[in-house]
Amino acid sequence: MISRSTIDRVFEAARVEEVVGEFVQLKKAGSNFKGLSPFTDEKSPSFMVSPVKQIWKDFSTGKGGNAISFLMEHEHYTYPEALKWLAKKYNIEIEETVQSNQEKEQINERESMFLVSNFAKDFFHSTMLNTNQGKAIGLSYFKERGFRDETIKKFDLGYCLDEWDHFTNAAISKGYQLKYLESTGLTIVKDNKQFDRFKGRVMFPIHSMSGRILGFGGRILTADKKAAKYLNSPESDIYHKSKILYGIYQAKKEIAKQDNCFLVEGYTDVISFHQSGIENVVASSGTALTADQIRLISRLTKNITVLFDGDAAGIRASIRGIDLILEQGMNVKVVQFPDGEDPDSFAKSHSDIELKEFLNTAAQDFINFKVSLLLEDTQNDPVKKAGLIRDIVTSISKIPDAIQREVYVQECSQIMEISERILFSELAQLIAKTNTEESKKYQEEKKTFEVVKRQEIQLKEVDQLDILEKEIIKLLLLYGNEEVDFIDEITHFDENGREIKTQKTYKNEVSAEIYLHLHDDEIEFTNPVFKEIYNEIIYQINQSEILEIDKLINHPNTIISSAVTSILMDEEKYQLSQWERKNIFVTGAKEVLTKAVTDSIYNIRRILIDKLLKEKAVKEKEYSKEEIEEIMNYNSLRIRLSEKLNRVV
């Protein structure tokens, strides 16, 4: 287990905006930062980070928390793994206490797969650098490709010896279980025999956005026609090739900085570009581009430049990816390398400056690219030319933004020498067809869930008590240490029996005022999470006479820290809509704090009295005189509370 002192140092050093910024492109929004949700596919930002409070909130999913919880949600880390990731980022030495056998058994299978994969990465790298066969074959190959030592280290490149079970035996001898070697695909188990999947191959570890090893790509170096040139890890619980891009870990910072991502096909294309000083580059690793991969890039930038090899057949096969990028609302440009060249070979045969200049000058939008690629085939053939125009308009129809669509229609009209009216007509038909198909799909889904939804609405009443409990917790978290003026209303009677009310003003802290009233009325929270948060707050105040929010935000119970974060970030939500720019100004709770505290106490009393009266109303017997008097007193108190709240009873 990680020691308490290490945990404290990690929390002191970690900056939530820096941690989240590793995975999400953030833009300044007042005192906060905002960005697109990394958990959903959205076009407008609903993700907020507060550097002051050191918390984040995703308003599209309701998720929120601190730096630790973000890593747990986004990277599926365990709590200790998230701490270790932060410790590594901020150069904090980890102090650990001895784990019990029970704690060791609690490491789940998924985490065991990550451990095995990380061991494999280090083992293959060490094998290449420290064995005769590794140096002679693996290291020589990378050196022949022109890769420098620092590049080899940066991408954790390695080599698996050309022996049947060398890696498998080494892993088992280190205590790694065969079932995890098999589930990650590193070892193949067949007929009670086991052998290394990647034997005799140079190794390209595939990292997640945070640097965890998800899988491997292996290239064979012999001329064995029966063996695949490249071999990837099979799909597993941790490796989904359609959801990851090679090089995203090494490229993410530069992608966000340059506000552009170069998309290539192979591992060596990525590595060669890095060595040439262009680090905002990722690869689809030979697989067809997917929506998930595009969304991964969209967290960092809205701009993608697709780099195609000079091979015309390969280009035609990859054109579908352009439409997919457009469909995701991304801006796309295309660079085509000269015939016979690919990004790797071009980077090696040209200087760094020449490569950068070529990428800048050769980049063109997708219309010009399609025209330059396909126009030759349409010469003197009106039918083929019409097909090309229809193909371009189909691509334009994928763009969600109407203004962008119109601009591209105008450009297509000029290049292809066809009227805008005809193009807009074709575009309208395509969009209408798409909308009709989507509408049918939506209606079918709607029918499926309609009955269930109706039942939910009927059964689910608004829990007013839950809302009020949340409001009290919010007041405590935001203003618990504030001292404000409260009014005490005193009622007495004169000699004629007339009721006289007088008011007395006194100062008190918000936390003390709320505690005093809830304690006097013996009110307990019904929501278990709010109850635990309230108890933590009262414990803090009793111990140190001050509420320390950081201890709740960084609470080891992630349910508590998440609930606290969600409440704290509620008031930041309006910044996403930029209401101030529209001359809509929100009154802060602090400006009416006394009333907010008093109303919350009165309201929770009123709800509890209503609940009690409802319970008494369902009694199937005659009421005693005492019970009638009690009900009348409750009703009288309910009326007085409503008067204080300016409610009509």
Strand partners, 193: 190
Whether residues 184 and 331 share a domain: the answer is: no
φ, ψ of residue 507 to 5 degrees: the values are -100, 140
Answer whether 0.75 is exceeded by the pTM. Answer: no
Number of domains in the chain: 4
Whether residues 325 and 416 share a domain: the answer is: yes
Whether residues 83 and 114 share a domain: the answer is: no
Query: How far apart, in whole angstroms, are the C-alpha atoms of residue 214 and residue 196?
Result: 17
Query: How far apart, in whole angstroms, are the C-alpha atoms of residue 192 and residue 208?
Result: 33
Whole-angstrom CA distances from 594 to 363, 478, 483, 501, 587 are: 61, 13, 10, 20, 14
Whether residues 636 and 595 share a domain: the answer is: yes
Whether residues 525 and 623 share a domain: the answer is: yes
Whether residues 72 and 127 share a domain: the answer is: no
Query: How far apart, in whole angstroms, are the C-alpha atoms of residue 473 and residue 469?
Result: 6
- SS3 state at 304: strand
- Tokens describing residue 125: 């790298």
- Antiparallel, parallel or unpaired: β 213-220 and 201-207: antiparallel
Query: How far apart, in whole angstroms, are the C-alpha atoms of residue 76 and residue 391?
Result: 41
291 located within any domain: yes
Whether residues 172 and 258 share a domain: the answer is: no
Determine which helix (DSSP H) or strand (DSSP E) holds 447, and give its type and residue range.
helix 420-459
576 located within any domain: no
449 located within any domain: no
337 located within any domain: yes
Closest-CA residue to 570 (of 59, 60, 69): 59
In one-letter notation, the amino acid at residue 90 is: Y
Whether residues 502 and 608 share a domain: the answer is: yes
Whether residues 232 and 169 share a domain: the answer is: yes
Whether residues 69 and 146 share a domain: the answer is: no
- CATH code for the domain in which residue 143 is found: 3.90.980.10
56 located within any domain: yes
Q: What is the span of the domain harbouring residue 405?
A: 248-431
pLDDT of residue 18: 92
447 located within any domain: no
In sequence order, what DSSP letters do the residues of 37-59 get, joined into one string? -SSS--SS--EEEETTTTEEEET
pLDDT of residue 345: 93
- CATH code for the domain in which residue 400 is found: 3.40.1360.10
Low-confidence ranges of the chain (pLDDT < 50): 106, 451-462, 579, 582, 584-587, 647-649
pLDDT of residue 364: 92
Query: How far apart, in whole angstroms, are the C-alpha atoms of residue 441 and residue 348?
Result: 50
Point out the domain boundary residue: 431, 451, 481.
Answer: 431
Whether residues 630 and 497 share a domain: the answer is: yes
444 located within any domain: no
Contacts 24+ apart (CB under 8 A), 87-93: 87/6, 87/9, 87/10, 89/14, 89/19, 90/10, 90/13, 90/14, 92/6, 92/9, 92/10, 92/13, 93/6
pLDDT of residue 455: 46
List, in sequence order, every beta strand (DSSP E) within 328-462: 331-336, 364-365
479 located within any domain: yes
- SS3 state at 504: strand
pLDDT of residue 160: 97
Point out the domain boundary residue: 103, 136, 159.
Answer: 103
Whether residues 414 and 488 share a domain: the answer is: no
Whole-angstrom CA distances from 130 to 62, 198, 461 are: 50, 18, 68
pLDDT of residue 173: 96
pLDDT of residue 111: 85
Point out the domain boundary residue: 83, 103, 123.
Answer: 103
- CATH code for the domain in which residue 61 is found: 3.90.580.10
